[in-house]
Structure 1
Amino acid sequence: MVENRLYFLDNLRSVIILGVVVLHVAICYMMYPPVWWYVVNPVTNLYFTQLVVLVDVPLMPCMFFIAGYFALPSLQRHGVVSFLQQKTWRIFIPWVLGIVLLAPPTAFSYPYSRNMPVDLYSFWTHYFWTDAFQHSVYWFLALLFWLFVALTIIWKCVPALRNVTRTPAQAPLWLFPAVVGVSASCFFIALQFFPLDYWYVSYLLSFRPERLVQLVVFFILGMWAWKYGWFTQEGYRPRKRVWLPLFVLTMVIYLPVRLGFVASPIPLWQKQIILACAFTTYSIASLMGLCAVFSTWVNGKSAFWRSASKNSYGIYYLHAPIVYWLAYAFIPLAWSTYVKSTVILVLSMAASWMFTAGVLRKAPLLKRMF
């Protein structure tokens, strides 16, 4: 059962990475994209707006849950020093290299696609490190690395954590309402100080304030899930007949709430409460619904899934500049938004997958990271 559990979580992570690529392609073709988005096609489509709204929510909570699930057993098995060394090689160094080597040409697609008077060299050596600085997709690596560092500090300061063992048990009735309550409260509080979808950016960390606590909560929930043997025969196993209807229901509720947030005539604080509750309930329902499906229906280790799992990190790492520069190259083409987005998705996935398998996972030093 342990082996099967690892397979389905690896498979889920691979599909989440595909969802990230889908999200970034779709934003290039959505109506009302973020004003700072890298490349926006002149012709946009409401379908992509709806797709972005729905796909955006489950991705990172699932990623942080899976990371938390494997954190404690890895720390117990390797010890603090070896654990941090591994995370430095696998997360910290790729994060730094991503910011230095890949984020600048990715961010440069914004001024270039808008015919702004700046060249790549000037942008890379000056503007990127001042007004245009960002983490691109590598913000996830920074936040995850600092969470692992915080975990090791707590591990050293709380001796009881070193003796934690797995004791399979069912999920208590209060757990999921508590996750929603804490996440929604912090989401609402953050909106009192920052606009919705605002990005906090510093050299060491980047995140959306309203979602930060939720990601930490899902990371902790992952550790809880490991501690109490979720997905094992004796532990909690989410049921499809419960979580799939909740997944669909919360999705149906969240879509109009998010799309109508700006135009709704009700007081702002009421809109913020409704959005916070809709967002967080959709997040937990999507996580549990996906786990219920994958743990029973997508639990294999075929050649396809093994390759997807091994190369998913590299796909995440490489896809962004490929997606945005392809989107720019396709602007003059008189194709429909559906054709353009599909071709870009296939090409970016294939290129990222092949480069990861052929270079990142074989070249000296790089194969230690990927």
Structure 2
Amino acid sequence: MWNDIRKSGFFDLFILATDVFIMPVMFLIAGYFALPALLTKGTGGFWRDKLWRIVLPWVFGVLVIAPAVAYSAVFSRTSAPPGYVSFWINDFFGRYYQQAHYWFLGILALFFALLIVAYRLTPAYFARRPAVNNPPVRFFPLFALLSAAPFFFANLFFWSDAWVNCKYLFMIQPVRIGLYFCYFGLGVYAWKNAWFDGDGYRPSLLYWGPAAALMLVVFLAYRVAFTLTADIPVMFKAGHALVYANFCLSAAMALIALFARAAGSDASLWRGLAANSYAIYYVHQCIVIPLAYMVRKLPVNIWLKYFSVAACAVVLCYFVAKYCINPFFITGKRTAGL
């Protein structure tokens, strides 16, 4: 967000890599926990819960917090930035419109609505299988192809990193939205087939870890060599889609395998972070951006800056989430009768 006086090519590669798998993993997790909640609460209770937990925070974030995030970019890159009130009234809903990280909540609400429709049409299909159903060997290559297909076709018309404003309601990346839908569906499918718990399928870090490391190298080499410009040949776009999809899948499975080990820990730190994870996500840019602004001109090592800001941000986000945001949600849910 801020232009720091210290630069490092490592962080450019770091952003390119983490930008691939973080959001698909979040959609996979959302799909995995959505179906049991839907079966338990029914469509009415499920949607009322999502209105309170997802839709209302989305609207508030877009209208109140996202303008400040957009303004911080203008403020840092413009010699004479406008006043904030003037920016919000005259500029934000024009070429500077964005939803910050809250676009995820809007798309998630849409996916939840589609899940409700699908459930109402075919409720018997979504019942959990009584027996464990581990995926066959061909499942993951086929899923990688399935998720690569919408990425490739959208990339024929849009740059891979392009954002599109859909009538101010949704902010999407056309090249990635189909892949996100695939991962949400994968989460639903995984819960339905009893993955990740009991005797169900558990990704092996011994297999997925090296696969993710290999695909990381391949992806970064391909990305830097062929896809940093908007105008590339169709065959290279097809290669990008395949490399992107396979790296995304291997990284997602490796992370699940890695954190499955930590999930068995009784450490209060893990329990606290897990209990406050959504609130930390919600508030993190409000804390990270000011911290980055304060250190951007300090003539100190870039690694020291990064780890200092990261550590402070995690601590502050945790305390704000635990003592300011989550109590409001709990009180609000009781008041609303949810």
TM-score when normalising by structure 1: 0.84
Structure 1 counterpart of 2:99, from 131, 135, 150: 135
Matched, 1:76 2:61: no
Matched, 1:50 2:5: no
Change (3 A) 1:365 1:295: closer
Counterpart of 1:25? none
1:75 partner letter: L
Q: What secondary structure, in the 3-state scheme, does the structure 2 residue paired with 1:349 have?
A: helix
1:295 partner letter: A
Structure 1 counterpart of 2:271, from 303, 306, 312: 306
Supply the distance in 1 between the matched residues of 2:72 and 2:191 (Cα, whole angstroms).
Answer: 41
**Structure 1 residue 133, shift from structure 2 partner:** 1.1
Matched, 1:200 2:132: no
Counterpart of 2:187? 222
Structure 2 counterpart of 1:278, from 231, 239, 243: 243
Change (3 A) 1:297 1:95: closer
**Structure 1 residue 149, shift from structure 2 partner:** 0.7
Change (3 A) 1:260 1:84: same
Change (3 A) 1:103 1:166: farther
Supply the distance in 2 between the matched residues of 1:220 and 1:184 (Cα, whole angstroms).
Answer: 14
Task: Indicate conservation of the 8 Å contact 1:314/1:360, yes or no.
Answer: yes
**Structure 1 residue 163, shift from structure 2 partner:** 4.2
Supply the distance in 2 between the matched residues of 1:332 and 1:132 (Cα, whole angstroms).
Answer: 25
Matched, 1:169 2:133: yes
Supply the distance in 2 between the matched residues of 1:263 and 1:86 (Cα, whole angstroms).
Answer: 41
Change (3 A) 1:144 1:301: farther
Change (3 A) 1:263 1:354: closer
Q: What secondary structure, in the 3-state scheme, does the structure 1 residue paired with 2:10 have?
A: helix
Q: What secondary structure, in the 3-state scheme, does the structure 1 residue paired with 2:136 have?
A: coil
Structure having greater relative contact order (Cα 8 Å, sep ≥ 6) = 1
Task: Indicate conservation of the 8 Å contact 2:209/2:254, yes or no.
Answer: yes
Matched, 1:90 2:53: yes
**Deviates most, 252-261 or 144-153:** 252-261
1:333 partner letter: L
Task: Indicate conservation of the 8 Å contact 2:284/2:317, yes or no.
Answer: yes
2:179 partner letter: Q
Residues 112-261 of structure 1 aligned to structure 2 (within 5 Å): 112-114=75-77, 115-161=79-125, 163-202=127-166, 203-261=168-226
- The percent of aligned pairs where both chains have the same amino acid is 31
Matched, 1:40 2:31: no
Post-superposition Cα deviations, 1:253-285, rounded to whole Å, max 9, x if no partner, equal: 111111222479x96222212211111101111
Task: Indicate conservation of the 8 Å contact 1:360/1:366, yes or no.
Answer: no
Change (3 A) 1:57 1:219: same
Change (3 A) 1:367 1:332: farther
Counterpart of 1:337? 302
**Deviates most, 303-312 or 162-171:** 162-171
Supply the distance in 2 between the matched residues of 1:353 and 1:160 (Cα, whole angstroms).
Answer: 40
Aligned pair count?
331
Counterpart of 2:319? 354
2:103 partner letter: W
Change (3 A) 1:52 1:166: farther
Change (3 A) 1:46 1:201: same
Q: What secondary structure, in the 3-state scheme, does the structure 1 residue paired with 2:201 have?
A: coil
Supply the distance in 1 between the matched residues of 2:132 and 2:244 (Cα, whole angstroms).
Answer: 29
Task: Indicate conservation of the 8 Å contact 1:197/1:208, yes or no.
Answer: yes
**Structure 1 residue 336, shift from structure 2 partner:** 2.2
Post-superposition Cα deviations, 1:235-265, rounded to whole Å, max 9, x if no partner, equal: 222222221221111112111111222479x
**Deviates most, 181-190 or 166-175:** 166-175
Counterpart of 1:290? 255
2:7 partner letter: T
Counterpart of 1:104? 67
Counterpart of 1:17? none
TM-score when normalising by structure 2: 0.92
Change (3 A) 1:155 1:331: same
Counterpart of 1:20? none
1:173 partner letter: V
In structure 2, the gaps of 5 or more residues are none
1:53 partner letter: L
When the two chains are superposed, the root-mean-square deviation of aligned CA atoms in Å is 2.1
Matched, 1:327 2:292: yes
